[in-house]
C-alpha cells in the first residue's frame, strides 16, 4: 500500500472537499509526526467534489418510460445508475405515482392504476439499501391508457332539409377517456367539429354530402357509419293571388275569410289583431259571430322558400237585424231596419209567421238604413229581413 504525507493545514482544507475519505490520524509509525495516513477512498477521486447527484450525478434510469392499462395490474422495476456510485441500492417515490400504485424500496412500481392519463414519476435512488446516503432524483414518463377502446353506441341518422334550415348529426359512444372526437365530410375534416353533435346552420346545397364521426383514444380509432345530408332544391316563396275581403256583420251571422295563393307545400297562419286564431287552411271559418270576432285579420302563407303576408282586412260586428217601428205614409206603411251600409238584404213577406215567405225585394242599404213601402190594402202580412252573403 502506498503512503501519502500531507501537512495538517492542507488536510483541513482537503477535508472540506472530501468529507467521505476515511482518515486514520494515529496509524502505526506515524504518531510523532503531524501527518495523516489515508487508508482508502470510499467512492474514488471523482467523488471528492460532489455526491450522488452532484458533479458525478446519476446518469440515467431504466426504463425511462412506462406504459400501463387502467384497471389492469402492472409491475415494473426501475434502476438508477451513477458513473461514480454505480446502481442505487434503494428507492423512494418523490411524486407523480398514478392512483392505485406504489413504489417499493427495491424500485418496483406495482398496483392497479385507477385513472388514465400521462404522469411524470419522480423517483429517488439512494446510495444505501436503507434509503440513506447520497441520492439522486430522476423523472420517468408514465402513460396509463384505458382498457376500453372507443365504440359507437348509436349511429348518426341521415337528414333531408330545405335551404336555410339547420341540420344536426349526433352519435353516442363509449370508451375510456380521453377520447378525441372529429367530424368528417367525405373524409375532409369539418372545422371546429369536435363534439358528439355536429350542427350545421343555414344549410345550402354545398353542404349536401356524407358525414361521419371519428373517435380516438389510446387503445384505438373507430368511425361511425356515414349519415347523408340531402338539401332540397330551392323553392320559390308563395304568391298571393286573391286577398281576403273584410266584412261588416250582424251578431249571429255565419261568415268566413279566404285567401288564394300559388306555390308548393303551402301552410297558412291566420291572426286577429296580431294574435293567432288557429286557422291553418286558406279559409278561416268565423262561425256564428259575436262581438269578440271584430278586429283586423291577416294571414301568412309560407313554404320552404319563404313566406308572405296578406293585406290586413277589417271585420266589423254590429247588433242583430231588427225592424224599426213602422210608420204610415199616405196609403202605405213605411218599414225600416238597422241595415249596415254597403250590405245587401232581402225583405220577405208571408201571410203567417210560419210562412211560406215570398221575397219582396233585394236591396243595398245606404246610409240611414233601408225603407220599404207597403200598400195598406194588404193588411195582416208578416215581414222579415235577411242579410245576404
- State the pLDDT at residue 335: 79
- Mean of pLDDT values over 214-241: 93
For residues 92 and 78, the answer to whether their CB atoms sit within 8 Å is: no
* Predicted TM-score (pTM) of this structure: 0.43
Question: Comparing 174 with 54, which gets the higher pLDDT?
Answer: 174
Rounded mean pLDDT of the chain? Answer: 83
- Work out the pLDDT band at 25, boundaries 50, 70, 90: very low
Long-range (24+ apart) CB contacts under 8 A made by 116-120 are 116/70, 116/144, 116/145, 116/146, 116/176, 116/177, 116/178, 116/218, 117/143, 117/144, 117/178, 118/142, 118/143, 118/144, 119/143, 119/144, 120/96
- Mean of pLDDT values over 326-352: 82
Q: Is the pLDDT confidence value at 147 over 90?
A: no
- Work out the pLDDT band at 278, boundaries 50, 70, 90: confident
Percent of the chain having pLDDT more than 70?
A: 81
- Work out the pLDDT band at 377, boundaries 50, 70, 90: low
pLDDT in tens, 77-93: 999 998 888 899 999 99
- State the pLDDT at residue 347: 86
Q: Is the pLDDT confidence value at 35 over 90?
A: no
Sign of the C-alpha dihedral computed for residues 313, 319, 320 and 325 taken in this order = negative
Q: Tell me which DSSP letter residue 37 carries.
A: E
Three-state SS for 38? strand
Amino acid at each position: 500500500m502506498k503512503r501519502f504525507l500531507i501537512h495538517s493545514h492542507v488536510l483541513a482544507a482537503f477535508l472540506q472537499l472530501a468529507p467521505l475519505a476515511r482518515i486514520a490520524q494515529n496509524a502505526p509509525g506515524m504518531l510523532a509526526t503531524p501527518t495523516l495516513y489515508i487508508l482508502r477512498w470510499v467512492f474514488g477521486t471523482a467523488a471528492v467534489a460532489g455526491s450522488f447527484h452532484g458533479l458525478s450525478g446519476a446518469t440515467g434510469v431504466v426504463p425511462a418510460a412506462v406504459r400501463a392499462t387502467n384497471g389492469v395490474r402492472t409491475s415494473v422495476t426501475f434502476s438508477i445508475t451513477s458513473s461514480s456510485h454505480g446502481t442505487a441500492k434503494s428507492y423512494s417515490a418523490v411524486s407523480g405515482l398514478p392512483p392505485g400504485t406504489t413504489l417499493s424500496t427495491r424500485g418496483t412500481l406495482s398496483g392497479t392504476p385507477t385513472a388514465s392519463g400521462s404522469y411524470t414519476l419522480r423517483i429517488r435512488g439512494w446510495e444505501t439499501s436503507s434509503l440513506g446516503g447520497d441520492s439522486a432524483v430522476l423523472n420517468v414518463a408514465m402513460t396509463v391508457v384505458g382498457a376500453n377502446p372507443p365504440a359507437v353506441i348509436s349511429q348518426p341518422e341521415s337528414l333531408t332539409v330545405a335551404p336555410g334550415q339547420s341540420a344536426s348529426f349526433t352519435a353516442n359512444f363509449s370508451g375510456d377517456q380521453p377520447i378525441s372526437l372529429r367530424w368528417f365530410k367525405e373524409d375532409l375534416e369539418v372545422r371546429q367539429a369536435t363534439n358528439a353533435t355536429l350542427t350545421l346552420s343555414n344549410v345550402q346545397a354545398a353542404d349536401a354530402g356524407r358525414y361521419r364521426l371519428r373517435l380516438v383514444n389510446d387503445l384505438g380509432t373507430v368511425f361511425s357509419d356515414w349519415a347523408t345530408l340531402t338539401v332540397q332544391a330551392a323553392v320559390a316563396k308563395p304568391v298571393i293571388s286573391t286577398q281576403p275581403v273584410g266584412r261588416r256583420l250582424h251578431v249571429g251571422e255565419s261568415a268566413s275569410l279566404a285567401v288564394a295563393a300559388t306555390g308548393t307545400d303551402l301552410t297558412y297562419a291566420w291572426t286577429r289583431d296580431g294574435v293567432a286564431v288557429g286557422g291553418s287552411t286558406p279559409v278561416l271559418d268565423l262561425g256564428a259571430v259575436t262581438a269578440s270576432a271584430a278586429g283586423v285579420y291577416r294571414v301568412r302563407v309560407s313554404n320552404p322558400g319563404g313566406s308572405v303576408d296578406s293585406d290586413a282586412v277589417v271585420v266589423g260586428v254590429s247588433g242583430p237585424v231588427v225592424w224599426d217601428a213602422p210608420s204610415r205614409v199616405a196609403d202605405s206603411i213605411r218599414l225600416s231596419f238597422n241595415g249596415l251600409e254597403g250590405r245587401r238584404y232581402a225583405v220577405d213577406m208571408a201571410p203567417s209567421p210560419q210562412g211560406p215567405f215570398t221575397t219582396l225585394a233585394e236591396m243595398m242599404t245606404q246610409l240611414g238604413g233601408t225603407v220599404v213601402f207597403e200598400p195598406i190594402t194588404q193588411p195582416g202580412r208578416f215581414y222579415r229581413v235577411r242579410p245576404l252573403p
